[in-house]
């Protein structure tokens, strides 16, 4: 339920409580039976309890949202810090990958496809990014594998990543 819907319900319930309260006041001055007055009083109390429940939920939701925004901004700051610290290494890695792709005598298009494969994009996504057909992306990825002597995407990724990841601890 969104905020607007909550406030509409709160207004309706408050209006109900006020109308029933006013009716209860006039009924009590007319001397109606206690059973009737108790039933109307119960309706007014239930409407007010509903208002309280909705308000409590709204405030809890607002606090939760504020906490998530704070957590999100903290994670974003952490990611930005990591990128800043790793920038030189990432640039160096990109240059080394570029050097290796050149040593395999890949065309500029094949190099672009190779980078996108390393980033984990599917052939369909590569075709969309490069504004080509999926068939072209498939042909270029096949050329990358043939010229590199690797059998597929996993070997391509392993070629560049296996030495970056140190041995597992005991």
Do both 72 and 128 map to the same domain?
Answer: no
pLDDT digits (tens, 9 = 90+) for 106-127: 999 999 999 999 999 999 999 9
Give every CB contact of residue 129 below 8 A, 6+ residues apart in sequence: 116, 121
CB burial class (10 A; 0-12, 13-18, 19+) of residue 100?
Answer: middle
In CATH, what number is assigned to the domain containing residue 145? 1.10.10.10
Q: What is the pLDDT of residues 35-56, one digit of tens each?
A: 888 888 899 999 999 999 999 9
Angle, vertex CA 158, rays to CA 80 and CA 163, nearest 5: 70
pTM beyond 0.75: no
Count of domains forming the chain: 2
Q: Which of 55, 87, 119 is the last residue of a domain?
A: 87
């Amino acid at each position: 339920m969104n905020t607007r819907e909550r406030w509409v319900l709160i207004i309706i319930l408050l209006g109900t409580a006020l109308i029933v309260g006013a009716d209860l006041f006039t009924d009590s001055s007319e001397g109606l039976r206690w059973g009737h007055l108790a039933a109307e009083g119960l309706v007014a109390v239930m409407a007010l309890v509903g208002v309280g429940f909705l308000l409590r939920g709204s405030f809890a939701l607002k606090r939760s949202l504020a906490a998530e925004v704070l957590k999100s901004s903290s994670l974003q700051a952490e990611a930005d810090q990591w990128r800043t610290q790793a920038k030189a290494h990432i640039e160096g890695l990109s240059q080394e990958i570029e050097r290796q792709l050149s040593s395999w005598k890949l065309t500029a298009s094949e190099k672009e496809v190779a980078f996108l494969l390393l980033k984990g994009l599917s052939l369909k996504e590569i075709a969309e990014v490069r504004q080509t057909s999926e068939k072209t992306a498939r042909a270029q990825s096949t050329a990358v594998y043939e010229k590199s002597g690797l059998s597929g995407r996993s070997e391509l990724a392993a070629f560049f990543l296996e030495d970056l990841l140190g041995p597992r601890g005991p």
